[in-house]
Amino acid sequence: MSDEKMKIPVFDGHYEHWSEMMENLLRAKQVWNLIEPGIVEPAVGIAQSEAQRKRLEDLRMKDRHVKHYLFEAINRVTFEQILDRSTSKAIWESMKKRYVGNELVKRSMLQKLRRDFEVFEMKNNETIPEYFGKVLSIENQMRSNGEVMEDVKVVEKILRTLSEKYNYVVVSIEESKNVEEMTIHELQSSLVVHEQKFKRGEKDEEQALKMEDGESLTGRGRGRGRFGSRGRGHGRGRGSFNKETIECYRCHKLGHFSYECPGSKEANFAGFDEGEEVMLMVKTERREETRNCIWFLDSGCSNHMCGIRERY
């Protein structure tokens, strides 16, 4: 790759990211040895062979190229803050001291990140990609501060801090796979598949509930009656009633039907035992005209139980 086509990583204040990008570039150009260990100048007064002098001159020329890369990466303000610009190694060390900080601060930051990593848990409303993103963000910061983070440590952390609905999934993974050999990417892919199954199951259940509710509202199928018993849509089913929960449609008090209401006039009705099952539609024993023989369900409507106004 020629220098004209090569893109130099520009320093934007995030040293860890920039230094890793720049190190990779210098290693690719096979000049990282000018940073680590750097040019070793011969001691004064010690004679050198022609080959040694030629090699030293070659290193100094390459070092100028590396300095050019570094100068291209930093702005004028940063450039002026670097006091020793004699070699590329000196520039690199100056940047490192200024932006990395001392070891005490670094250790303090690492302790905080370790604590955050341990107490972090998945919330019930979080998705698998969201949770992995948060965990890996902390992991990357720990790596940047010198922590050695193997995949197995992150995998085990995630498995023990997933929300409760993934409990059986965790057991299945731990029994069927070698967790120590599992990569973070493999774990995420597996959990995303299970998450999609959960979502499909919740959607199917929600649809079933909507269909059931719709059937109840339209009178289709079976549904619960007013008094807690199950009957068919036309009200001709059988049921056992507890009168303590019955509300009178006339006085709105509990404990009796409207035809039993003390404030109503006498009306013919069929007696029954409270513990027995009863029919919700009955006929009087008297045989009169057809319209005089039929009683109607007490629905609480203004058109009352009996179809004959005089009996009301």
Task: Give yes or no for residue 272 having a pLDDT over 50.
Answer: no
For helices 151-160 and 167-176, what crossing angle results, to 10°?
Answer: 140
Rounded to the nearest 5 percent, the helix, strand and coil shares of the chain are 55, 5, 40
Hey, which of 147-151, 290-294, 307-311 has the most confident mean pLDDT?
147-151
pLDDT at 301: 53
pLDDT at 271: 47
- 279 DSSP assignment: E
Q: What is the pLDDT of residues 110-165, one digit of tens each?
A: 899 999 999 999 998 899 999 999 999 999 888 877 788 899 999 999 999 999 98
pLDDT at 227: 38
312 or 186, greater pLDDT: 186
Q: What is the pLDDT of residues 28-55, one digit of tens each?
A: 999 999 999 988 888 777 777 888 889 9
User: What is the average pLDDT score of the chain?
Assistant: 76
pTM beyond cutoff 0.75: no
Q: Could you tell me if 238 and 278 are in contact, meaning their C-beta atoms sit under 8 angstroms apart?
A: yes
pLDDT at 231: 40
pLDDT confidence tier of residue 299, bands split at 50, 70 and 90: low
Q: What is the pLDDT of residues 171-224, one digit of tens each?
A: 989 888 888 889 999 999 999 998 988 887 666 666 666 555 555 545 444 444
Write out 74-132 in H/E/C secondary structure: CCHHHHHHCCCCCCHHHHHHHHHHHHHCCHHHHHHHHHHHHHHHHHCCCCCCCCHHHHH
Task: Give yes or no for residue 282 having a pLDDT over 60.
Answer: no
A 10 A CB-CB count for 113 gives: 19
pLDDT at 267: 45
Task: Give yes or no for residue 290 having a pLDDT over 80.
Answer: no
pLDDT at 312: 47
pLDDT at 146: 78
Q: Are strands 230-231 and 278-279 parallel, antiparallel or unpaired?
A: unpaired
Where would I find the beta strands (DSSP E) of the chain? Answer: 223-224, 230-231, 238-239, 278-279
pLDDT at 295: 53
Percent of the chain with pLDDT strictly greater than 70: 66
186 or 301, greater pLDDT: 186
List the chain domain ranges: 15-100, 103-191, 228-312
